[in-house]
Amino acid sequence: MNGLQQTLTLAWRSLVQVRRNPWELGDYSIQPILFLVLFLYVFGGAIAGSPDDYLEFVLPGVIVMNMLFVTVYVGHGLNTDLTRGVFDRFRALPIPRWAPLAGRILADVVKQALCLALLLAVGYLLGFRLATSLVHLLGMILLVLVFAVAFSWVMVLVGVIARDPEHVQLFGFTALFPITFVSSAFVPVETMPDWLQGFVNANPVSLLADASRALMSGGAAAAPASWSLLWALGIALVFAPLSVYALNRRLARG
């Protein structure tokens, strides 16, 4: 038996709930869809002149926001397994010790892809039309998914440290809201005060939103996309070892 088969089995385990209850996916995406519609029709006119003009700007931003929110569930699920003893059951089985974590992250990529498809569909219904090409769109999807995997490690760390699953959600969303809003995800950075622009321009959420926007509606994608990937690499390099270290410490605590 190799670890890959077991990783797939563990990913199936996280996904089978979605298949039985597709509304669970709605749990992940209902908020971003709500944001998309609200932003579009409430703020769209003020920000971009009309809701229709704003859609092109805000859809990529909401996609990035949704991706970040969905990563919270990696930490939530891991913490549930740790506190309920499911993780111990897996560790007492003859499977590689990295398989449960790998399975969870793999399942998360699939959930991310499903949520992304959902948001693109909602965007289409609201009138969004791709201005670039299918290749560009696939590039955007790949970029967002790569960033999601990297950012998942932050939430793995939160999941390991948090006392219970509720705290994972509380901490995760509390941290993500300012990071998401102090970015160019929903409004152009030029409208913000100078002192804020420096932060916003360096924020990976801005870079990822800018890159996604360019890949979907045209414009220079190479620079923000490269910076986004660099951020993803940096986040993974810092948080993956940190998470594994924290996890081992937690497990050794008994």
CB 215 within 8 A of CB 221: yes
Q: Please, what is the minimum distance in Å from the beta carbon of residue 86 to another protein?
A: 5
Least distance in Å: CB of 19 to another protein?
11
Percentages helix, strand, coil for the chain (3-state, rounded to 5) are 85, 0, 15
48 within 8 A of 54, measured Cβ to Cβ: yes
Shortest Å distance, C-beta 222 to another protein: 42
Q: Choose one: 40-48, 57-65, 82-90, 187-195; the region binding another protein (CB under 8 A).
A: 82-90
Q: Check residue 240 for interaction with another protein (CB under 8 A).
A: no
- Note whether 95 binds another protein by CB under 8 A: yes
Q: State how far the Cα of 233 lies from the Cα of 170, in Å rounded to an integer.
A: 26
Compute how many residues bind another protein; rule: CB under 8 A.
25
Among 92, 125, 134, 222, binds another protein (CB under 8 A): 92
Q: Restricting to residues 33-72, name those near another protein by CB under 8 A.
A: none
Contact status: 178 vs another protein (CB under 8 A) = no
Among 37, 86, 130, 238, binds another protein (CB under 8 A): 86
Angle of helix 51-84 relative to helix 165-181, nearest 10 degrees, comes to: 150
Please give the biggest Cα pair distance in the chain: 61
* 174 burial type by CB count under 10 A (0-12 exposed, 13-18 middle, 19+ buried): exposed
- Using the rule CB under 8 A, is 252 a contact of another protein? yes
- Distance (Å, whole) CA 254 – CA 243: 17
Q: Which residues bind another protein (CB under 8 A)?
A: 1, 6, 9-10, 12-13, 16-17, 80-81, 84-86, 88-95, 251-254
